[in-house]
Copies of this chain bind each other. A is one copy, B any other.
Amino acid sequence: MKRTAFYLSDGTGITAETLGHSMLSQFGDIEFVQVTLPFVQSDQQTREAVERINRAHQEDGVKPVVFSTLVNNEHREILHSCKGMVLDLFGAFLNPLEEELGVRSNHKINQSHAIRDADSYRIRINAVHFALDNDDGARTRHYDQADIILIGVSRSGKTPTSLYLALQFGLFAANYPLTEDDFDDLRLPKALQEHKTKLFGLTINAERLSAIRSERKSNSKYASLRQCDMELRALEAMYNKHNIPYLDATELSIEEISTRVLAMKGLKRRLQ
């Protein structure tokens, strides 16, 4: 049985999607066709959304689930006339919040991701460019500016994690790849030695690493299970020898790795 989930928003839809994914992941067995309807900002657009929801209801034979972050009262009223099951975020929480805070909210649409100040935009752009310029050990001379330096073997998730830390938290995250050459005597590469307090290690399950590397270079020594296993054993020995905090990223998403790194290193985010 097919069931449709709608994410409805006057803005990007990201809040509605995030909430929806979170709720629906609690019902692992049901498969949802997911539809995001962003930038719904007028009566007319809301009525069109209602029509799409009603069409899905007719086609599926069951009620669509609708996660909505619409703020405008008239639009919310129109939405509630649909044949889906509406989970209305602002409907549920905004009134109680207004009462507690003792003020009326502005009920302005599309507030949530608007840039509140040019500062935070710049922090973010600068963080992203820092991550790029200091990706994969390309440069090491700016490590004094880094908030964190991720280390690990090739394709263990360093780059996406650095970028996520930059985009989400505005952190200056460098990353440095450890290779076979570094494992000979388990000494830290020179570029890392003087920044030891900033280091954070990633590791990963050997089978998983081998599968990821195979996508890039199949049937190579680089991707072989034997090579991956060898590198990872040496890597973890290195982390342990130098007391470098580290994390097994195998079962984790980029979001989870990033937030755990943040917590384990006690880093203060530069963006809220």
Contacts and interface: CB of A to CB of B under 8 A. Distances in A.
Interface of A: 3, 11-15, 18-19, 21-23, 25-30, 34, 38-39, 63, 65, 69, 71, 85, 87, 89-90, 92-94, 96-97, 100-101, 103, 105-108, 111-116, 118, 121-122, 124-126, 128-129, 132, 135, 155, 157, 159-160, 163-164, 167-168, 208, 211-212, 215, 251-256, 258-260, 263, 272
Given A113-B255, A121-B253, A23 B94 contact: yes
A253 B111 contact: no
Contacts of A93: 23, 87, 92
Closest 9 A/B residue pairs (Cβ): A26-B105, A22-B112, A12-B259, A25-B111, A15-B22, A18-B18, A113-B253, A128-B160, A113-B255
Nearest to A26: B105
**Copies of the polypeptide in the assembly:** 2
Contacts of A3: 101
A105 B27 contact: yes
A89 to B, nearest CB: 7
Contact of A211 (B96, B97, B118, B263): B118
Contacts of A116: 25
A25 B112 contact: yes
B212 A122 contact: yes
30 contacts: A3-B101, A11-B256, A12-B255, A13-B259, A21-B112, A21-B272, A25-B111, A25-B116, A26-B71, A26-B90, A26-B106, A26-B108, A26-B111, A28-B111, A30-B103, A34-B272, A38-B263, A87-B93, A92-B92, A113-B256, A114-B251, A122-B212, A122-B215, A124-B160, A125-B155, A126-B215, A128-B160, A132-B135, A163-B167, A167-B167
Contacts of A69: 22
A38 B256 CA distance: 10
A261 B84 CA distance: 28
Contacts of A97: 23, 27, 65, 85, 87
A63 B129 CA distance: 39
Contacts of A11: 256
Contacts of A112: 21-22, 25
A15 to B, nearest CB: 4
Contact of A19 (B19, B101, B211, B254): B19
A125 B25 CA distance: 22
Contacts of A15: 18-19, 21-22
Q: Which of A94, A259, A263 has the most CB of B within 10 A?
A: A259
A160 B155 contact: no
